[in-house]
Structure 1
Amino acid sequence: MRVVDTITVGGNPEFAAADGNGSVYINVNDGKVNEIVAADIAAKHIVRRIPLAGCEDPTGLAYDHDDQLLISVCANGLAKFVRADSGKEVASLSVGKGADAVIFDPRRRLVFIPGGADGTLTVISIRNPRKIAVVQNLVTQKGARLGSVDINTGRVYLPTATLAAPVPPSPYPSVVPGTFKILVVAPN
């Protein structure tokens, strides 16, 4: 295992999603510019920079292969749906604040966005690039901002714990010992 090359994307890279055809998309923020950077891995260069208007601090990113959609979540409570081929935004929806992940279930065509600051899980349906809509907002727990989906069962797993004040020098909340848990969200 060794580094074979480096592609400089600039800013603060957050999360990456691959399309399975040699392109990798990276959420990048630097305080002024919030964008998705498209990189061609074989050619080892940046293909395009896709601005995310109205997005503050993009974090989680997922790729919907069937519709060639990039799904980016922003810390200020927006989810952006962008065509990977053109960079055109097709939807912008309100979601819980403080999300750090976009969880995509390709079998059920559902997107799950856990808003850790609000303690919510926003469920979004993708019927096609023109029919994207929030179908449910579930109350979860503050701090639940990451997760995973079992595409066989449709269950979503959200790790979390009871949060307390930050312990310097860390600016992030601390975790109350013994409170870690996995929230399980099951489909109806």
Structure 2
Amino acid sequence: MKKIALLFLLNAGLFSGASKAFAQNYVLDKTIALPGNGGYDYVFIDQPNHTLYASHGTEVNVVDLKTETLKGTIGDMKGVHGIAIDNELNKGFISDGKADEVIVFDIKTLAVITRIPLDHKGADAIIFDSYSKKIFTFNGHSSSSCVIDPVSMKQIASIDMGGAPEFAVADGKGTIYNNLEDKSSLNVIDTKTLKVSKNYNLSPCGGPTGIAMDKENQKLFTVCRENKSLSVVDIPTGKVIQTLPIGAGVDAVVYDPAQKILVASNGDGTASIFKQDTPGNYSTVQTLATQYRAKTMAIDLDTHKLYFPVADYETGNKTMKPGTFKLLVYRQQ
């Protein structure tokens, strides 16, 4: 009986410890000052190379995540939005929405290799699809996607999206999922045929922006500005199976598969954090205080740290204070 009781206590302690670790809160770790002025949008982490890219006005700031210091800057652009990386070719790709171009750079030297002209306007989100080995831009002003061959560094096709595309995510098996902000729906793109194969209604979601994926459990996570919510979508059926409340002004969402945690970054100065109870059910664990207009973010899946690009603003308006651009870094307590 003593052995059984001891075993029970040890197991209970282990489960208690696991539960505690699972529900850890995030706290501010540090800030990383970044140079330059202008607006900011996507932030992207190249996980294999421990490098963070933050779009910032007419340039991209590059941060070494091992030291959390500025590594360099890629500049001389007109209006930067997103960043994508093809590690096999050691090439990076930046969507310049104002120039209607994609800028290609060497990820080792950060030197610009070439500029690819696009035949559709307003390139915003950009991703690399590992299955087709192609780069896809999502063009909000022209309701389209441009497809780029990273080897030839030329646009090879375009896709009619049927609405204004926002964030996108690829499953690595030939499918891309992309939110249509103005239609409150989700496009399913076949990267073999370069066509939209399906479109799912995201109701009650309104104005979807960021998207993330749980590949193992076949779930998508879409954040919605109009009704301030996070929608859990079942991939096989395209159905919204749960709607979670979040803050105002959301832009991005990330999923940590190891921790089974969801984070939505809101422009109102909060981040809504949820844990996965089951693959079809999620519950709130923390409303993290960030900073006004810290609406995009990235997660380092090795350290589980969160990185929010942000600047300081004049009181009572949306005027950015010069020289205040930075990353807010949060770690688990």
TM-score, with structure 1 as normaliser:
0.89
Which is richer in helix?
2
1:129 to partner: Cα distance: 2.5
- SS of corresponding position for 1:42: coil
Tell me the equivalent position of 2:254: 103
- SS of corresponding position for 1:175: coil
User: Which protein shows a greater Rg?
Assistant: 2
Question: What amino acid is the match of 1:13?
Answer: P
- The question of 1:181 aligning with 2:326 is answered yes
Distance 1:36 1:155 in 2: 29
1:147 aligned residue (297, 306, 330): 297
Distance 2:223 2:280 in 1: 19
Q: Deviations over 1:120-178 (max 9, x none)?
A: 01111124322211111011111101111111111101111112477xxxxxx332112
Question: What amino acid is the match of 2:212?
Answer: A
- The question of 1:130 aligning with 2:297 is answered no
Tell me the equivalent position of 2:216: 66
1:16 aligned residue (154, 159, 168): 168
Tell me the equivalent position of 1:54: 204
Tell me the equivalent position of 1:170: none
Distance 1:174 1:26 in 2: 31
2:264 aligned residue (113, 119, 136): 113
Distance 1:54 1:28 in 2: 14
Q: Deviations over 1:30-79 (max 9, x none)?
A: 2xx21110011102222211111122211111111111111110113110
1:88 aligned residue (233, 239, 242): 239
Tell me the equivalent position of 1:169: none
Distance 1:151 1:47 in 2: 31
Distance 1:122 1:47 in 2: 32
Tell me the equivalent position of 1:3: 155
Identity %: 34
Query: Tell me, which stretches of 5 or more residues in structure 1 are unaligned?
Result: 167-172
Contact preservation (8 Å) 1:114, 1:145: yes
Q: Which moved more, 1:71-80 or 1:126-135?
A: 126-135
Tell me the equivalent position of 1:45: 195
Contact preservation (8 Å) 1:35, 1:50: yes
Distance 1:5 1:140 in 2: 40
Q: Which moved more, 1:36-45 or 1:124-133?
A: 124-133
Contact preservation (8 Å) 1:90, 1:129: no
Query: Tell me, which stretches of 5 or more residues in structure 2 are unaligned?
Result: 1-152
Question: What amino acid is the match of 1:93?
Answer: L
Which structure has more relative contact order (CA 8 Å, sep 6+)? It is: 2
Q: Which moved more, 1:9-18 or 1:122-131?
A: 122-131
1:181 to partner: Cα distance: 2.1
Contact preservation (8 Å) 1:26, 1:38: yes
Distance 1:87 1:58 in 2: 15
1:91 to partner: Cα distance: 1.0
TM-score, with structure 2 as normaliser:
0.52
Tell me the equivalent position of 2:104: none
